[in-house]
Structure 1
Amino acid sequence: MAAVSHPEACPALFHVGITVADLDRALAFYRDGLGLTVQSDRVAESPTLATLTGVSVTRLRIALLDAPGGGVFELLQYDDGAMGEPLPASRAGTGHVCVFVDDLGEATARLLAFGGTQVSAEPVTVSGGEYAGRRCVYLRDPDGYLVELFTGPGPR
């Protein structure tokens, strides 16, 4: 099916964001462990934050990280920290971030050293489609967000 063009269509993806309990810990994982580059790290204070987020908050710490190849990853720390337990991978509303890595074993070990936990018992080899033969593994970041490491780069 061909894509339909609409005047209000999204011209580009700006960023993807996740909420973390401890931004410094998350920065160590994503910057030092995964290799993303910090674009900015600031505190936002405004009464409109509650209107925007639907949460009773007037202050957020926000870090934007650049990913190699494009894209921005946003980390948000609310004043009272993140609340609740991580959601199971099959739960609606749950997401994950997937990144290409050159060495799956080395990248996994590095992220475990920065507070990640391994979800996959072992790497899985993709059996079909354009990524057949590639290997991948799921981990959780220090706050429980799912991170998929995928041998790459790019489609074959």
Structure 2
Amino acid sequence: MSFNHICIIVSDLDRSLPFYKDLLGFKKVLLDTTEPGNLFNSSILDDILGVKDAATRIVVVADEDGATLELQQAANPHSTKAPDEYLSYGRTGLKELAIDVPDIDDLFQRVKAAGIKVQTDYIWSPYAGTRSFLFYDPDGALIQAMEVTAEQYPR
């Protein structure tokens, strides 16, 4: 089984899109649409989002290797930032988006230079042959950058 895409609900698509495109390299825009419209009729979107007269903007982006993210900001119901305590490891649900990077030192420096919050102020090794650090997207979603340098890493 492989993943088709990961959907990230954002509170401000115009703020989040440059983060994912410019910093993380999801440069290829596969779709930019406001719904209901191209993908969903209004009754299906109402059922999916759980409200009458649902409306959302969806932008699907991909990196050069084909990894795909769906960034979505709903107008109805209005997307708001989750409280920080809901994003912590003490709560259930998906907690981090882990990405492979070829040069973790470069990304670490770019993240810090951009003033983006990091979970640790250093790069660490979760397994032999790996280097990693964690940082946050504009809405506080946790992203783990991983550089794999050896075959010992369990996959």
TM-score range (shorter-chain normalised) is 0.7 to 0.9
Q: Which runs of structure 2 are paired with 1:54-69 in the superposition (5 Å)? A: 54-55=50-51, 58-69=54-65
The percent of aligned pairs where both chains have the same amino acid is: 29
Count residues with an aligned counterpart.
Answer: 142
Q: Which runs of 5+ in 2 are unaligned?
A: 37-41
Return the offset for 1:67. 2.7
Return the offset for 1:68. 3.2
Q: Corresponding residue for 1:19?
A: 9
The alignment's C-alpha RMSD in Å is 2.3
TM-score (norm 1): 0.78
SS in structure 2 of the partner of residue 24 of structure 1: helix
Return the offset for 1:113. 4.8
Q: Which runs of 5+ in 1 are unaligned?
A: 1-10
The answer to whether the 8 A contact 2:81-2:139 is kept is no
Deviation by residue 1:115-139 (Cα, 9 ceiling, x = unmatched): 6311123211134xxxx13100010
Distance, in Å, in 2 between the alignment partners of 1:84 and 1:144 is: 8
Q: Corresponding residue for 1:73?
A: 69
- Structure 1 residues 52, 152: CA separation in 2 closer, same or farther (over 3 Å shift)? same
| Runs of 4+ displaced beyond 6 Å | none
SS in structure 1 of the partner of residue 134 of structure 2: strand
Deviation by residue 1:33-72 (Cα, 9 ceiling, x = unmatched): 1111221211112242221133555110101011332331
Q: Corresponding residue for 1:84?
A: 82
Q: Corresponding residue for 1:50?
A: 46
Distance, in Å, in 1 between the alignment partners of 2:56 and 2:123 is: 36
Return the offset for 1:89. 2.6
Deviation by residue 1:2-28 (Cα, 9 ceiling, x = unmatched): xxxxxxxxx643211011001111111
